[in-house]
Amino acid sequence: MRLFGTNGVRGVVNEDMTPELALKLGKAIGSYFEGNIAIATDTRTGNEMLKNAVISGLISTGNNVMDAKIAPSPALQYYVKNTDVDAGVIITASHNPPQFDGIKVIDRDGTELGKEKEEKIEEIFFKENFRKKAWNEIGRVYDTDILDFYIEGILSLSDVEKIKEKGFKVVTDCGNGAGSYTMPYLAGSVAKVVSLNAHPDGNFPGRMPEPTRENIRDLMATVKATGADIGVAYDGDADRAIFVDENGNYVDGDKSLAAMAGYMVEKKGGVVVTPVSTSSCVEEYVKSKGGSVIYTKVGSPIVARKMIEIKAVFGGEENGGLIFPQHQYCRDAGMSTIAMLELMAKKDKPLSEIIAEIPKYAIYKTKVECKEKSKMMNEIKSKISGKMDFTDGIKVFEDDGWVLIRPSGTEPIIRIYAESMDEEKARKMAERYRNMIKDIASNL
């Protein structure tokens, strides 16, 4: 039986994510690690309930807890990586709707806990094999403030003077999430800031936590209305950043990924790591700057691990998750914000012009309902030919572009992504495979 999904343990508050579960998980995590464990939360309504239960479990098994309160996930990860803390726990449901919450474990090096270690914690959890401590051996809880440490860490890696010279105006949109106490101050240390939705509120009154085009209309309008140089929207736990250019236009995540990847390759040369679902614009742009791209399965911890393995210069995903190895091996929206300002300052160009250099591709996404996903994937494999890649699902290369067919990790659906230079061609390719999969499904 599995407890951890692709994003730690996640579910609806007081239905899946109960205090009983959190206590037991806290005891399991506390029995696996031994020492000092840091904990932080985003801004969700379930956080106090879940955090206190997790803390009870952690100290009952003999650990001390450093409570960092509301902090971006990457801030807690940076703290774990750079201090002698033994592990971290983050209470967050990232970009999910308000009713969700989750519990994620961070390893001593600041990366998300690998699958093998998760399985060990699961085993302790299910067997209730918790470490026993006597009354005088239980741990203590200390308050800690990690935000200045995080902000200073980012600024120490950036050309702060060059950014300041430009006198940029930045609109930050924290979406009432974990970035609220961090991002306006971080941006404010190098630029003028207009701040939106920076009061922590788990009902997310400003906007929903995922920084989609529809959700960040207020930010787009505010950038235009205030004559700002750039807008940045964060997801609920502030590890992903989505940008808005000086004209108030939404910048697709694959474009900001390409721009940053190109900049890093220009500076240092080397390899960029990204999942197979990423637009070809990234590889094309990186190659034009003399670098190369390695593809992985979908998922930011997988990208991060590959980056460590091959000493990549940069990595990231199309959803606004950018990974800067000189800083840490996880998505980091604070670092993304300052790095984007540095890029604009060094190039001496507005963001719209930087983005205009990125090759234009159209991605069309669709899906088919399917319960027997692995049987379906085998059937599809036997029915198609040509140049294919099996890194994650099936990626088929055609003259006009590529199609990626992947079973969803959580739902009974097969996802289809098609990319081409031409929007209509991308749609047609996706529809062709969709019809084929529907045909197979009717005979399964």
Residues that bind Mg ion (CB under 5 A): 94, 235, 237, 239
**How far apart are CB 121 and Mg ion at their closest, in Å?**
21
Residue closer to Mg ion by CB (options 237, 318) is 237
Residue closer to Mg ion by CB (options 237, 283) is 237
β-strand pairing of 230-234 with 362-369: unpaired
Residue closer to Mg ion by CB (options 239, 342) is 239
Residue closest to Mg ion (Cβ)? 94
Place of tokens 């959803």: 319
Q: State the Cα–Cα distance between residues 221 and 55, nearest whole angstrom.
A: 42
Residue closer to Mg ion by CB (options 153, 321) is 321
The answer to whether 94 is a known catalytic residue is: yes
> Which residues make beta-bridge pairs with 64?
36
Residue closer to Mg ion by CB (options 122, 239) is 239
Q: Which of 379, 411, 410 is nearest to 394 (CA)?
A: 379
**How far apart are CB 233 and Mg ion at their closest, in Å?**
12
β-strand pairing of 230-234 with 169-173: parallel
DSSP label at 8? B
| Cα pseudo-dihedral 65, 69, 70, 75, rounded to 10 | -40
Question: Structure tokens of 57?
Answer: 């479990």
Contact 401, 421 (CB under 8 A): yes
Q: State the Cα–Cα distance between residues 229 and 103, nearest whole angstrom.
A: 36
Neighbour count for residue 346 (Cβ, 10 Å): 15
**How far apart are CB 316 and Mg ion at their closest, in Å?**
13
**How far apart are CB 232 and Mg ion at their closest, in Å?**
14
At residue 254, the 3 state secondary structure works out as helix
Q: State the Cα–Cα distance between residues 431 and 444, nearest whole angstrom.
A: 20
Q: Which of 323, 204, 206 is nearest to 257 (CA)?
A: 323
**How far apart are CB 252 and Mg ion at their closest, in Å?**
18
**How far apart are CB 25 and Mg ion at their closest, in Å?**
20
Q: State the Cα–Cα distance between residues 407 and 239, nearest whole angstrom.
A: 25
Question: Structure tokens of 168?
Answer: 């940029």
Neighbour count for residue 323 (Cβ, 10 Å): 27
| Cα pseudo-dihedral 195, 325, 7, 207, rounded to 10 | 10
Residue 288 exposed, middle or buried by CB count within 10 Å (0-12, 13-18, 19+)? middle
Instruction: Please tell me the number of Cα atoms within 13 Å of 394 on its side-chain side.
Output: 22
Residue closer to Mg ion by CB (options 178, 351) is 178
Please identify which of the residues 56, 60, 73, 94 carries the catalytic annotation. Answer: 94
Residue closer to Mg ion by CB (options 78, 285) is 78
Name residue 316's amino acid. G
Residue closer to Mg ion by CB (options 175, 401) is 175
Measure CA 103 to chain center: 15
Residue closer to Mg ion by CB (options 173, 235) is 235
Q: Which of 234, 188, 221 is nearest to 75 (CA)?
A: 234
Q: For Cα atoms 182, 185, 189, give the angle at the middle one, nearest 5 degrees.
A: 135
**How far apart are CB 343 and Mg ion at their closest, in Å?**
22
**How far apart are CB 238 and Mg ion at their closest, in Å?**
7
**How far apart are CB 216 and Mg ion at their closest, in Å?**
15
Q: Which of 341, 359, 356 is nearest to 401 (CA)?
A: 359
Please list the active-site residues. 94
